[in-house]
A = this chain, B = another copy of it.
Amino acid sequence: MEIASKFMGPGTTNTMVRINENGSVVGTIIVNCEGFPETTTLDSLTAATYSNHMRNLSASASHALKEIDVTDELRVLRLVSKKTEAVVAPDEDFYLVVVMRRQKK
Using a CB–CB cutoff of 8 Å, the interface residues on chain A facing chain B are 46, 49-50, 53-54, 56-57, 60-61, 64-65, 67-69, 71-84
Contacts and interface: CB of A to CB of B under 8 A. Distances in A.
A67 to B, nearest CB: 7
Given A56-B60, A56-B64, A75 B81 contact: yes
Contacts of A69: 83-84
Contacts of A56: 60, 64
Contacts of A57: 57, 60-61, 64
Given A57-B61, A65-B81, A78-B80, 16 more contacts: A49-B67, A53-B67, A54-B64, A56-B60, A60-B60, A64-B79, A69-B83, A69-B84, A72-B82, A74-B81, A75-B81, A75-B82, A76-B79, A76-B80, A77-B79, A77-B80
